[in-house]
Structure 1
Amino acid sequence: MSLIGRAFLLGVVAALTSLSPLAAAPGPWKTLFDGKSTDAWRGYGRDAFPTDVWRVENGELKTIEGVKDPVDIITKDKYRDFELELEWKIKPGGNSGIIYRVAELPKPSETWHSGPEMQVLDDEKHKDGLDPKTSAGALYGLVAPTGKTLNPPGQWNKVRLVVKGSHVEHWLNGKKVVEADLASPEIKALIAASKFKAYPRFAQEREGHVALQFHGDEVAYRNVRIRILDK
C-alpha cells in the first residue's frame, strides 16, 4: 500500500473511532402513533389502551379533560437506546410530560417514579413555568432548558429526544435545550436534593417504556415515532 493510501486509511479509522456514542447508526423509524391507531400504547398499570381518559380526534392523540382519574399511557414495548420524535400541543395553563425508561412498579406508583421527564407546559400560565427547571423542555426538576423557542398554547411544538446509555438530549423546535449525563455526580447530587430521592428506581432503568403523561389537562400529541440506536 502506498503512503498516501495508508494515510487515507488511517484517517478513516481515526474518524470512525472518534465518533461519539450518539453517532452510532440508527435503525429504521417505527411509528408509534399515525393519527389513527393506538395499538402501540396501553395504560400505565393497565392491559389495554385507556379509552376512558384518552381519545383519538382529528389525527391527534388527546387526553379527555375533566376525568376523575387521569392515567398516563405507555408504549407496549420497552426501549433501551433510542431517538424519539413527536409534536405536542397544549391548552392555556396546561401541563404534561414525556417520560422515558419507565418501569411499571407496583401500585401505588406513577410513571415519573422511575422515568426522567421532558416537561410539556404552558410556561406563561402554569406555575411550573416560573422555575426554569420545571419549565417546558426541562429535564424536569433537575436541568433547565437553554436557548429554547416555545410556541404558545394551541400551536404545535416539535420534540426530538435522544437517549443513549446515560446520555440524554432534549430538543425543542429544532434546538438542543438540554444535554445531561444521568450517571454523572452532578445529576446524582441534584436527584439527592430533589423529590426524586424518595424513589430509589428513579433514573436507574437501563431500559423501559416511553410514557405520555396525563396531568389532568388537555394535551394533544401527533407524529410520534421512534428508532433504535445501535449498541
Structure 2
Amino acid sequence: MCWIKRTAVSDLLPQLAALLLIVSSAGAFGVDNKLSQAEIEEGWELLFDGNEIRHWRNFKKDGLNEKWVVDNGTMKLVGSGGGDILTHKSYRNFDLRLEWLISEGGNSGIFILVDEEGKFIFSHAPEIQILDNERHSDRKVDSHRSGSLYDMVASHPSSHKPAGQWNQVRILFRDGFLQVWQNGVKTVNVTIADSTWNTLFEASKFSSSIGTMFGDFEGFAEARSGHIGLQDHSDPVAFKNIKILELQ
C-alpha cells in the first residue's frame, strides 16, 4: 500500500514541475508600463514608460518640477510643492487607464478637459478623486471619496481600497458622456451639460451661485477637449500604467 502511494506521488512530479514553471514565469505577463502588441495595433499610447516623465509638464509652465520623480517604475510626487501637472497633448474623446497609490491620509486627483485659462487647474477641469478614505477628512463627504466625480457624483464604497494599495481607474469620455470605473466598479455615469449634470453642478462648489475662495468657476467643464491632469494636494502619490486611446 505504501509502495502504491509513493508511485502515485512520483507520477505527479512532472505535472508539479510544470505548475511551478507556470507560477515562476507569471511575472513575465502584464509587465508594468508596457503596451501589448494588441494595444499597440489598436493605437494606445503610454503616458509614462516607467523610466522618464516625457509626456507631462507643470500647469502653466514649460517644464516639470523636480518633486515629480521616477521611483521604482512609478511616477511619483514625493512632497508638497511639486505643483499640478498635465499632459503636453490635448484630448477630445478618449479611453484613459491608470493605477494610483495614495499615502496614508493623502489626497490627489485626476483631471480631464484641462485648459490653462483659469487661475487653477481645477478652475475648469472636472476631477476624479484620489483619497485615503479611512483617514483624510474629505471622507466625511460621499462625493469626495476616491473614484468620485469630485463634489458631484459619489463613488460606491465597493470600489474603495485602503491607502497603500494600488487602485485601477478607467475614464471613458466621448462627446460629453463621462464614465468612470474604479477597481472594476462603475462609479460615474453622467453626460456633461444635460439636465442631471446641471442639477449636480448647481448643488456643487463649482456653481456660481455658491462659489468659494477660489472663485466662481466660470467656464467649468465647458471645454470640448483638454489635457489630462494630476493633482499636487501636498501628499505623496504614485502612478503607473498610464495609457490612453484616442477615440473618434
Match of 2:73 in 1: 59
Deviations 1:24-64 (A, max 9, x none): xx95100000111211111101101222x211111111112
Q: Which has the higher contact order (CA 8 A, sep 6+)?
A: 1
Percent identity at matched positions? 38
Partners of 1:34 and 1:227 lie apart in 2 by: 15
What is the TM-score normalised by the length of structure 2? 0.77
Match of 1:85 in 2: 97
Match of 1:35 in 2: 50
User: Is 2:213 the partner of 1:203?
Assistant: no
Q: Considering only aligned residues, what root-mean-square deviation do their CA atoms show, in Å?
A: 1.5
Contact kept in structure 1, 2:46 and 2:242, CA below 8 Å:
yes
Deviations 1:143-176 (A, max 9, x none): 1112533221111000111011111011101121
Deviations 1:2-37 (A, max 9, x none): xxxxxxxxxxxxxxxxxxxxxxxx951000001112
Contact kept in structure 1, 2:147 and 2:159, CA below 8 Å:
no
Match of 2:32 in 1: none
Aligned length: 200
Match of 1:213 in 2: 231
Deviations 1:46-93 (A, max 9, x none): 101222x2111111111121x4x3411100000000000000001111
What is the TM-score normalised by the length of structure 1? 0.83
Contact kept in structure 1, 2:103 and 2:237, CA below 8 Å:
yes
What SS class does the counterpart of residue 115 from structure 1 fall into?
Answer: coil
Deviations 1:109-167 (A, max 9, x none): 11111110100001110111111111110000001112533221111000111011111
Match of 2:59 in 1: 44
Which of 134, 139, 143 is the aligned partner of 1:133? 143
User: Is 2:180 the partner of 1:162?
Assistant: no
Amino acid at match of 1:189: T
Between Structure 1 and Structure 2, the one with more helix by share is 2
Alignment of 1:77-156 (within 5 A): 77-105=89-117, 109-146=119-156, 148-156=158-166
Question: Runs of 4 or more off by more than 3 Å in structure 1?
Answer: none
Partners of 1:216 and 1:165 lie apart in 2 by: 33
The alpha-carbon distance between structure 1 residues 78 and 85, as it changes in their structure 2 partners (threshold 3 A), is: same
Contact kept in structure 2, 1:168 and 1:182, CA below 8 Å:
yes
Match of 1:14 in 2: none
